[in-house]
Amino acid sequence: MQTHALEVGDLLLIKGNSMFSKVVRFATNSQYTHVCVYVGYGMVLDVDGFRTASLRPIPSSGGFELYRLKRELKHFEQDSILVEAMSLIDETKGYDWFEAIKLFLGRLGLQIRRAGRARRHLCTELCLELYRRIGFDIVIESLEPERLAHHDTFRRIFPHVFEEMV
């Protein structure tokens, strides 16, 4: 897939196939195992269990589906995405392992009520915070990536999964 098909602010919902992805798929009962936001210049804002928040190249392996905000972003909102992404990178202390374990245990029927740790994020939380900072207050009932795909703020752009990108 060429980057010209992407627009700043697009969501990439990933269907990973790693061992970690299989655990996420079980914990979230979702076809999607990860989500990140396209910020332009071939880069996405991303956080995962092994790295802190950062800008990374668009994932080149595994499949993903593309979702876009239904309302077109204004120019100042597009410009704000990269600025706010950089701020989030500076502020985020890493992956919220506690929240991830809480999701997994919840799937097993065990409930933990304590909130996640401040300034640590799951991939879904990082995306929601980025959108909130540019004026989209998106509320989902739980933190599975699939919840974003089903939210009425977004529409699916490509009906199929890209297996490889060039």
Quote the tokens at residue 120. 């640590």
pLDDT higher for 92 or 6? 6
pLDDT higher for 51 or 42? 42
Amino acid sitting at position 37: V
**Span 63-67, mean pLDDT?**
86
pLDDT digits over 24-48, tens only? 666 667 778 788 999 999 999 888 6
**Span 65-71, mean pLDDT?**
92
pLDDT above 90: percentage of residues in the chain:
27
Whether the predicted model's global pTM rises above the 0.85 cut: no
pLDDT digits over 103-150, tens only? 555 555 656 565 555 555 578 888 888 999 999 988 877 667 788 888
Exposure letters 102-139 (e unless 16+ CB within 10 A, then b): bbeeeeeeeeeeeebeeebbbbbbbbbbbbeebebebe
pLDDT higher for 64 or 161? 64
Work out the end-to-end distance of the chain between its first and last CA atoms, rounded to an integer number of angstroms. 6
Domain segments of the chain as ranges: 3-156
What pLDDT score does 146 carry? 80
What pLDDT score does 12 carry? 92
166 pLDDT band (50/70/90 cuts)? very low
Rounded to the nearest integer, the mean pLDDT of the chain is 76
What pLDDT score does 117 carry? 52
What pLDDT score does 134 carry? 93
Amino acid sitting at position 62: G
**Which CATH architecture describes the domain 3-156?**
Alpha-Beta Complex (3.90)
